[in-house]
Amino acid sequence: MCGIVGAVRNSEASGFLLEGLRRLEYRGYDSAGVVVINHAGALERTRTIGKVGELEQALQRSPLTGMTGIAHTRWATHGGVTEPNAHPHICNDTLALVCNGIIENHESLREVQRASGLTFTSETDTEVVVHQVYLHLQEGLDLADAVRATMKELQGSFALAVVHAGEPGRLVVGRQGPPLLLGRTDDETFVASDINALLPVTRSYQVLENGDVADLHDTGCLIRNDRGEIVERPLHTSAQSGDAVELGDYRHFMQKEIHEQPRAVADTLEGRLLGDRVLEDSFGAKAKEIFDATRQVQIIACGTSYHAGLVAQHWLEYVGVPCEVEVASEYRYRRHAPREGTLVVTISQSGETADTLAALEEAVRQGAMGTMVICNVPESSLVRESDLAFMTHCGPEVGVASTKTFVSAMTGLLLLALVLSRRHGFDAGFETHVVRQLRTLPGALESALAMEDAIAEMAQAFGDKAHALFLGRGAHFPIAMEGALKLKEISYIHAEAYPAGELKHGPLALVDEKIPVVAVAPNDLLIEKLKSNLEEVRARGGRLYLFADPASGLVESEDVRILHVAPVDSAIAPIIYSVPLQLLSYHVALIKGTDVDKPRNLAKSVTVE
């Protein structure tokens, strides 16, 4: 996922474009670039590798002057992190374009364009887009018509913005998948991937729909839909602050980041789904080749990321893919029996976790067929060292206790299970069903967040406790593990998690009225088994705190407190049930008076062994 910003102004555009990129940097920060139509009617471009700060320094040394321009912050998909691969891309010094998305048929388009005499300066799929628009201009089409014709020829999910050197004061944009917003004032127009980029200049915006092409001028814009009909999209007014590193109305960054999860998941899914299927290219340029050769998956991670891997093991094995999950610090220090066709998947918020990096190196040394990372930082070491990369697109996560990166990592792992399911006998109907559930995920997360007040009240029961026990079954046992980890991380309560069926094998000895027992109880195939386990707790005087599906049949009593979680499909239930446990740990920590965002002895990124 990348970030697009553009402007048609009555003053210099570069200042707005640069600030817009800063606000979009969470969408990609391995390179950035800007182009303007200068006052002589020529294109001027500056591109840099690294974060937006590098671009800012370059523009301070050599400012760009012009009132119409586009800019881009990139997360690399096709082509490495190099200046030639950075956007904007230019064709024949007359046409400049930025794109967010993946063009699936770029290879066939490239062959035709080369035959037409066009040359390429990058490895990206985006360069074929600017060339295709240029070819249509050469046929005599107007700029907007050329963009519309090009969009009909592209396969994939994308949003784009284009300017022509001979037409200062004009900017044409189009959407087919990723969001694209138009900002409006009385005498200026803007475009961005996210409302946050528009907020420095306007709170009034329109959202383009799929297939829309908008022709922007300083006096307004004309929008046509995919049938070429003139349409008017609703004008909205934003109430957002748009500042990703300010608390706003939240008490702590952890609370803010818990509430950002619907958006984080939506951004993680953005551009990865086309209709009812997953776009394999969203995992990287070599995804098909590596997935075709995958016979089993080895997941390596630490802490919260390890728990995400344990959930994914259930999904992967359900679709017929053998999967092993191991803590990185253990993996690297023992010998492994090599297995043909092993895809090694690492998970890390920072991409710099020392043990995970070392484990990846060891896996490669032992002959891993391919490597893939799920990460939140595009320029990180794990991303650079892996064959494939799936970015979670969460934006900055300040709180030490991972929340939005956890649910977004699970989302990416579920997408991985779907693309591998195609190779193990699962028909398109299965993928269609799960993709449709994934599209409901942001809304389901919002419903879970609405439980916060009730969870805060439940947390009062933990204020004087020193220990807690968490229970789950199946894919929800790792969620119980994550709940226990969160509670111990930020409230310093000793918490342990067990599969509920293991109670009789030891943990029941701990149960009494002083230890709260927390369980997740979705209405799945294991619910009756779980009920029996919970009765074992009650029979020993334990007090239960349950997060349960309303249809589970569980009943409140003096020693059983139940908060109902809105019904969700089993495919996404583990992701949803993690949210109440995050909120529980947060509100218990408030009662305990701990430093929620910076718990003692812990750091956000573990870069030493």
Q: Which amino acid is at 272?
A: R
pLDDT, mean of residues 387-397? 89
pLDDT of 380 strictly over 80 = no
pLDDT computed for residue 353 by the predictor: 83
Among 347-351, 361-365, 500-504, 604-608, the range scoring the smallest mean pLDDT is 604-608
pLDDT digits (tens, 9 = 90+) for 187-228: 899 999 888 799 999 999 998 988 999 999 977 899 999 999
In which element (H, E) is residue 499 found?
Answer: strand 494-499
Among 348-352, 420-424, 434-438, the range scoring the smallest mean pLDDT is 348-352
pLDDT computed for residue 599 by the predictor: 86
Give the sheet arrangement for strand 181-184, strand by strand: 43-49, 31-37, 68-74, 3-8, 189-192, 181-184, 204-207, 235-237
Assign residue 248 a region: left if phi > 0, alpha if psi is -120 to 50, beta otherwise?
left
Please list the active-site residues: 2, 604
pLDDT digits (tens, 9 = 90+) for 465-504: 999 999 999 999 999 999 999 999 999 999 999 998 888 8
pLDDT, mean of residues 415-439? 94
pLDDT of 606 strictly over 90 = no
Among 46-50, 63-67, 351-355, the range scoring the smallest mean pLDDT is 351-355
Task: Kindly list the structural domains of the chain, giving each domain's residue range(s) and its CATH number in brackets, ordered by start.
Answer: 3-237 (3.60.20.10), 253-439 (3.40.50.10490), 449-592 (3.40.50.10490)
C-beta of residue 515 within 8 angstroms of C-beta of residue 471: no
- 236 pLDDT band, cuts 50/70/90, is confident
- 607 pLDDT band, cuts 50/70/90, is very low
pLDDT computed for residue 72 by the predictor: 97
**Averaged pLDDT score across all residues of the chain:** 92
pLDDT computed for residue 608 by the predictor: 42
- 243 pLDDT band, cuts 50/70/90, is low
pLDDT of 379 strictly over 70 = no
pLDDT digits (tens, 9 = 90+) for 255-273: 999 999 999 999 999 989 9
- 62 pLDDT band, cuts 50/70/90, is very high
pLDDT, mean of residues 147-168? 95
pLDDT computed for residue 240 by the predictor: 54
pLDDT computed for residue 605 by the predictor: 54
Q: What is the distance between the alpha carbons of residues 412 and 410, in angstroms, rounded to a whole number?
A: 5
pLDDT computed for residue 26 by the predictor: 62
pLDDT digits (tens, 9 = 90+) for 278-337: 999 999 989 999 999 999 999 999 999 999 999 999 999 999 999 999 999 999 888 888
Which residues, listed in sequence order, are joined to residue 231 by a DSSP beta bridge?
223
Share of the chain above pLDDT 90, in %: 72
Helix 452-459 with 573-592: angle, nearest 10 deg: 50
295 three-state secondary structure = coil
Angle at 69 between CA 67 and CA 74, to 5 degrees: 150
Instruction: Determine if the pTM surpasses 0.95.
Output: no
pLDDT computed for residue 257 by the predictor: 95
pLDDT, mean of residues 428-457? 96
pLDDT of 242 strictly over 70 = no
> Is it true that the peptide bond before 88 is cis, omega within 30 degrees of 0?
yes
pLDDT of 77 strictly over 80 = no
Q: What is the distance between the alpha carbons of residues 128 and 154, in angstroms, rounded to a whole number?
A: 10
Tokens of 424: 């193990």
Cα dihedral sign for 356, 359, 364, 369? negative
Comparison of pLDDT for 71 and 511, the residue scoring more? 71
pLDDT, mean of residues 105-134? 95
